[in-house]
Amino acid sequence: MLGAAAGLLAYTAAGVAPSAGTRALMGGAALASGLLLYGLLAPRGAGAEPTQDAVGILWRRLLVTIGLLAAVEAAPVLFGAGAADARHMPADLLSASGAVFYSILHLGVAVYLLRGLRRLVLARPTRRSVTIWRLFLVGTAASAAARLLTPPGQPPGFIHFLVAAAVAIFMAACAFRQQWIMPLPTGIRLRAGGLALALAIALGLTMGESFSGPGAVPVETWALRLQEARDDVPYAFLLSPAVGDAVAIPLAFGLLYGVTSALTLLFSLPTTGAYAQRAGEVRAFRALSALTLDPSQGLDRERLAAAVARAPVEAGIARAAWVALSDPSRGTLAPTVVAAEGLTTAAAARSVDAAALALDALEQRRPLVLARAAADHRVRARPGDGVGSLLVLPLVVGGQEHGALFAARATPDAFDEDETAALEAFAGQAALALSHAALFSEAVERERLARELALARDVQRRLVPETLPSVPGASLSAGMRSAHEVCGDYYDVAELDGGRIGILVADVAGKGAVAAFHMAQLKGIFQASAALSNSPGAFLARANEALRPSLGPRSFVSAVYAVLDPTEATLTVARAGHCPAILVRDNAAWPLRAPGLGLGLDAGPLFKRTLVEQIVPLRAGDVIAMYSDGLVEARDAEGGEFGYDRLNAAMLASVRAGDDDPARAVRDSLLAALDGFADPASAVDDTTLVVLSWHGASAGASDAAGAPFTLRPAFPEAALAPSSATPA
């Protein structure tokens, strides 16, 4: 540019007209510097979204254009009204300097204008729009280049005409790219429209002045005609027709774009609200989906509800919104307000009967539109409370009903069909997100439960004895299987005084965690009080008293407790509602079924009065099995029970003389018989088995033909005393 300027000045000073080639060279240099400037003005980095800066872009261009206009108006004052052969050369150095100054100024403004308009034209760019824009730029450069060889004042050639026509088409195509307008809010839109119009006017005036005013130069096709009509044009201030083209086309495009923008802005004003709302909806949907997709953030029910309530208000669709959810896990089936936006949760709960409205909407499976909310009996808000119209949107997905989203506006009849539809779609999304949240928290809860149950199972395994004491003359063996993570069966062995051994088998009614809890409690009772007495009845009565307060009205524990006295060779058994222990002697099975209530059924008097102990004087070869009902109630594939007959038969078959450890052999063969009958994997109840075999001395001489045991009341004094607790 500077070279071209220096050249022009030099030629002017010398008073010699440059040759056509030199002119072309100078014009080319000026064009090249314009292109360079365009490149230099490219924004650094990604640049802000033009929608946020549209007013700024237009405003700065307007100021620059006005500045240029002022400069052009001042041309005669600054550079003198020196006479010139307008068609050829500036007459003197001053006007030549003017030509250089204005060339640079015009080119700079043209490039600055293009840079700004580019951001508007290419807002939300498509591949096609970018291509058209580039074609427009290339066309402008080509059009200017085509003028390089044309001397000033000469009409442009045919090629230039073709190029200019193409540029006009691209220009028009670009002028209708107005994507930056859509997201603008109304206020900004008005200002932008005014600025675009002002810019168009300013550019029109500038072009008129630059190309046909007092300082105009006859460089352009249309300006040429103007110039021909005005012979008093004082001097040329543009270096060459090429520069004229390079300036005129951007300025003309600016004018066109200003006009189309102003029109678009003005015509779109009535729908501005809708646009703003759509944009808000998009934002709301985006906010919600971002929330639901981030499992670390969004899958919390309360936060999700708050986000759902916030969205309609943020989108500008509702003045206030709130969410009512039911929470079956906490036993509240009627939806209650859990989050609100635009008013407090308490105020939202006060303003309407949220439960009734939500249930109504859920039942209808579509939005409830209360155009005049105050007229509905379920709306408690008074006029002026901001609930003029109300939308109740069911939050339901599949069969899963979560509750409802409420959207309120201050005026009646405020929600149109589009808004209702948009909110309905939004509510569908929200319900889905809530379902996901529920699933997620259930999964977390399940995992937590599984972990805790695994821990409980571990703890429980340690509650039953790891090793059984060795007793002279007897052998003991035990086994336990739980059908659930934790079980309600329990067995334990305690060493009592005088070498006696207490053996307990118990079964807590019910299964799972509660049963396991009572089992642990029983363990505590057993450890603490078994050694206090050698009477099984006394221990069971104590256990009954200790358990009764903590067992609920419908739970109880059955137990059988046997005390083995190896010195006397006797076994004393008491039964508290439990399956009878079985004694096998001389190839016969004897159920030890003395009366006795289950633990926890009675406060004490009745329990004591009815409890009977069985005393078995032992003989070598006796085998006694104590077990839980999981054994006799085990079912085969057809639903048939294992039952007492099979148990007795299995015991008789398994008692063989000569085993090293008869108790273990009996236990193993009993469990094998059970497994042969029922699939252990399908067991529904816990199974416990303790086997005692006696191979010590036989107690006294007893009648082989009679019953192998004697009976005695556990509490003779209670059995004799009259009691008020007599059953009806």
Partner 1 sequence: MSNFSVAFRPRPDDDIMVLDLSGELDAHTAPEFEAALELARAGGHSRLIVNGADLQYVSSAGLGVFMAFVEPLRAAGGDLKVAALQPRVYEVFDLLGFPLIFDVKEKEEEAAGAF
C-beta of residue 111 within 8 angstroms of C-beta of residue 38: yes
Stretch that binds partner 1, among 169-177, 237-245, 387-395, 599-607 (CB under 8 A): 599-607
User: What is the distance between the terminal CA atoms of the chain, rounded to a whole angstrom?
Assistant: 121
| CB-nearer residue toward partner 1: 319 or 578 | 578
Both tokens of 83, joined, read 């006479």
Tell me: does residue 11 bind partner 1 (CB under 8 A): no
Tell me: does residue 606 bind partner 1 (CB under 8 A): yes
| CB-nearer residue toward partner 1: 457 or 484 | 484
Tell me: does residue 511 bind partner 1 (CB under 8 A): yes
Calculate helix-pair angle for 186-212, 272-293, nearest 10 degrees: 120
| CB-nearer residue toward partner 1: 292 or 555 | 555
Question: Can you tell me the distance from the alpha carbon of 688 to that of 162, in angstroms, rounded to the nearest whole number?
Answer: 102
Tell me: does residue 510 bind partner 1 (CB under 8 A): yes
Cβ 514 to partner 1 shortest distance, Å: 11
Strand 320-327 relative to strand 400-409, pairing: antiparallel
Q: Please tell me whether residue 136 adopts helix, strand or coil conformation.
A: helix
Stretch that binds partner 1, among 96-104, 414-422, 437-445, 590-598 (CB under 8 A): 590-598
Question: Can you tell me the distance from the alpha carbon of 616 to that of 582, in angstroms, rounded to the nearest whole number?
Answer: 11
Question: Can you tell me the distance from the alpha carbon of 665 to that of 312, in angstroms, rounded to the nearest whole number?
Answer: 74
Cβ 678 to partner 1 shortest distance, Å: 15
Interactions with partner 1, residue window 38-97 (CB under 8 A): none
Full strand arrangement of the beta sheet holding 332-341: 332-341, 320-327, 400-409, 389-397, 368-370
Please pick, from the candidates 434, 509, 538, 691, the single residue that binds partner 1 as defined by CB under 8 A: 509
Stretch that binds partner 1, among 394-402, 413-421, 574-582, 618-626 (CB under 8 A): 574-582
Cβ 641 to partner 1 shortest distance, Å: 9
Tell me: does residue 554 bind partner 1 (CB under 8 A): yes
Question: Can you tell me the distance from the alpha carbon of 233 to that of 405, in angstroms, rounded to the nearest whole number?
Answer: 73
Q: Please tell me whether residue 216 adopts helix, strand or coil conformation.
A: coil
x/- letters, 143..182, toward partner 1 (CB under 8 A) = ----------------------------------------
Cβ 728 to partner 1 shortest distance, Å: 6
| CB-nearer residue toward partner 1: 252 or 589 | 589
Both tokens of 382, joined, read 């008074």
Please pick, from the candidates 189, 481, 578, 619, the single residue that binds partner 1 as defined by CB under 8 A: 578
Say what the alpha-carbon torsion angle 225, 228, 232, 234 is, to the nearest 10 degrees. Answer: 70
Both tokens of 400, joined, read 């899963």
Please pick, from the candidates 80, 595, 621, 696, the single residue that binds partner 1 as defined by CB under 8 A: 595
Both tokens of 100, joined, read 């250089």
| CB-nearer residue toward partner 1: 59 or 644 | 644
Q: How many residues bind partner 1 (CB under 8 A)?
A: 27
Cβ 490 to partner 1 shortest distance, Å: 14
Cβ 597 to partner 1 shortest distance, Å: 4
Tell me: does residue 537 bind partner 1 (CB under 8 A): no
Distance of alpha carbon 112 from its chain centroid, rounded?
Answer: 47
| CB-nearer residue toward partner 1: 25 or 601 | 601
| CB-nearer residue toward partner 1: 183 or 600 | 600
Stretch that binds partner 1, among 163-171, 205-213, 274-282, 552-560 (CB under 8 A): 552-560
Tell me: does residue 120 bind partner 1 (CB under 8 A): no
| CB-nearer residue toward partner 1: 178 or 610 | 610
C-beta of residue 559 within 8 angstroms of C-beta of residue 505: yes
Q: Report the alpha-carbon angle 290-294-295, nearest 5.
A: 145
Strand 570-576 relative to strand 489-495, pairing: unpaired
Stretch that binds partner 1, among 150-158, 276-284, 298-306, 503-511 (CB under 8 A): 503-511
Tell me: does residue 687 bind partner 1 (CB under 8 A): no
Tell me: does residue 482 bind partner 1 (CB under 8 A): no
Tell me: does residue 558 bind partner 1 (CB under 8 A): yes
Please pick, from the candidates 384, 498, 553, 676, the single residue that binds partner 1 as defined by CB under 8 A: 553
Tell me: does residue 580 bind partner 1 (CB under 8 A): yes
Please pick, from the candidates 601, 620, 697, 719, the single residue that binds partner 1 as defined by CB under 8 A: 601
Residue 73 identity (one-letter amino acid): E
Tell me the β-bridge partners of 616.
571
Encode burial over 384-395: b for 16+ CB neighbours within 10 A, e otherwise.
ebbbbbbbbbbb
| CB-nearer residue toward partner 1: 192 or 597 | 597
The residue written with tokens 């708050």 in the block is 306
Question: Can you tell me the distance from the alpha carbon of 429 to that of 230, in angstroms, rounded to the nearest whole number?
Answer: 70
Stretch that binds partner 1, among 405-413, 592-600, 646-654, 708-716 (CB under 8 A): 592-600
Stretch that binds partner 1, among 362-370, 395-403, 417-425, 591-599 (CB under 8 A): 591-599
| CB-nearer residue toward partner 1: 67 or 510 | 510
Tell me: does residue 521 bind partner 1 (CB under 8 A): no
Cβ 685 to partner 1 shortest distance, Å: 8
Dihedral sign computed on CA atoms, order 445, 448, 454, 458? negative
Dihedral sign computed on CA atoms, order 549, 550, 556, 561? negative
| CB-nearer residue toward partner 1: 80 or 510 | 510
| CB-nearer residue toward partner 1: 273 or 640 | 640
Please pick, from the candidates 136, 180, 556, 590, the single residue that binds partner 1 as defined by CB under 8 A: 556
Please give the C-alpha separations between residue 337 and each of 288, 307, 328, 489, in angstroms, as whole numbers: 19, 14, 14, 45
CA atoms within 13 A of residue 23's CA, in its CB half-sphere: 20
Full strand arrangement of the beta sheet holding 581-585: 474-481, 687-694, 623-627, 581-585, 588-592
C-beta of residue 310 within 8 angstroms of C-beta of residue 321: yes
Tell me: does residue 604 bind partner 1 (CB under 8 A): no
Cβ 489 to partner 1 shortest distance, Å: 12
Question: Can you tell me the distance from the alpha carbon of 12 to that of 10, in angstroms, rounded to the nearest whole number?
Answer: 5
Please pick, from the candidates 234, 367, 598, 662, the single residue that binds partner 1 as defined by CB under 8 A: 598
Tell me: does residue 627 bind partner 1 (CB under 8 A): no
Question: Can you tell me the distance from the alpha carbon of 522 to that of 477, in angstroms, rounded to the nearest whole number?
Answer: 21
Alpha helices in 213-344, H assignment, sequence order: 221-229, 241-267, 272-293, 295-298, 301-314
Stretch that binds partner 1, among 261-269, 490-498, 555-563, 662-670 (CB under 8 A): 555-563
Both tokens of 285, joined, read 């949907």
Dihedral sign computed on CA atoms, order 241, 244, 250, 255? negative
Please pick, from the candidates 298, 367, 394, 596, the single residue that binds partner 1 as defined by CB under 8 A: 596
Cβ 556 to partner 1 shortest distance, Å: 7
Tell me: does residue 688 bind partner 1 (CB under 8 A): no
Please report, as ranges, the residues that interact with partner 1 according to CB under 8 A: 507, 509-511, 552-556, 558, 576-580, 593, 595-598, 601-602, 606, 610, 629, 727-728
